Each structure stands twice: as C-alpha cells, then as structure tokens.
C-alpha cells in the first residue's frame, strides 16, 4: 500500500469517515445516498475549474495558476481515494489494473490512437479493466 493510501485511511479515521479493509457496500448509508453526496462534492470541485480559467485569463502568474490547478486536481484525488477507503476498495491495486488497461489501448503499431479532441482511443489489444477489478475484489472478500 502506498503512503498516499495509508494517509487516506488515517484521514478517514481522524474525521470519523468509514474505513473498510475489505470491499463492501455496508458503509452506514445506502450506496445511492453516498454516491449522490459524492457527486455533489465533485461538482463543487469541477466548478473551481472556472476560477482557474478566470485566473489564467485575467493574467495571474503561471505559478498562481499552477498552484490552483495542483490544489484542484489533488483535492479531487483525495476525495476519490477517500471514497475508495470507505468502500474498502484497494486504491493501488485498482489503479494498477486501470493503468494496465490504459496501456492496452495502443494501436497495432504500438503508438497511441487519438480522436479529434485528443482523447486516447482503444486499440486492437484493448481489454476492459472491470473483469480484473471484479476478480481482485472477489479475492479480497474471501
């Protein structure tokens, strides 16, 4: 487990937020109730993007804009990791599977494939991460 994952569990404990060592939906409230609250938190964070855009467009220094951006992106990662700890989802292992799936998106020539927006597209060797994530979670519930 990474130092970050350890810190998230410590954070949740300090702030009396659920921390589970095995995957579970039993966190004291319904999953839908928790996800609605989490969605609202993320929406608030996403709205901070407008503040960063305004700062950049109004001539704030590069360092001020980068600092705001780092804080925003870091906060989003902390919120997501905290949710994973609540549900007993293993942060490092899940992210490793997702990253390996992302690497499988390369084209047959070993190069990235992009759409017109610059989004990475799926190559011929792409595999979905969900089956491996499900296998991981099932192994942890035993």
Q: Chain centroid to CA 125: how far?
A: 24
Q: CATH number for 1-89: choose from 3.40.50.1010, 3.10.129.10, 3.40.50.720, 1.10.3420.10.
A: 1.10.3420.10
Listed in order, the ranges of the chain carrying CATH 1.10.3420.10 are 1-89
Find tokens 């487990």 and name the residue.
1
pLDDT for 2 beyond 90: no
Q: Is the pTM of this model over 0.85?
A: yes
pLDDT digit string, tens, across residues 85-125: 999 999 999 999 999 999 999 999 999 999 999 999 999 99
Q: Chain centroid to CA 94: how far?
A: 10
pLDDT at 142: 74
């Amino acid at each position: 487990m990474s130092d970050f994952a350890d810190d998230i569990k410590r954070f949740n404990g300090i702030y009396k937020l659920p921390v589970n060592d095995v995957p579970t939906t039993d966190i004291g409230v319904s999953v839908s109730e928790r996800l609605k609250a989490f969605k609202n938190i993320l929406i608030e964070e996403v709205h901070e993007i407008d503040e960063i855009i305004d700062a950049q467009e109004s001539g704030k220094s590069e360092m001020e804009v980068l600092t705001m951006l780092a804080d925003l992106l870091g906060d989003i990662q902390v919120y997501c990791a905290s949710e994973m700890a609540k549900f007993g989802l293993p942060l490092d292992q899940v992210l490793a599977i997702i990253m390996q799936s992302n690497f499988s998106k390369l084209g047959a020539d070993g190069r990235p494939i992009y759409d017109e927006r610059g989004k990475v597209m799926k190559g011929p060797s792409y595999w979905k991460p969900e089956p491996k994530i499900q296998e991981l979670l099932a192994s942890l519930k035993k």
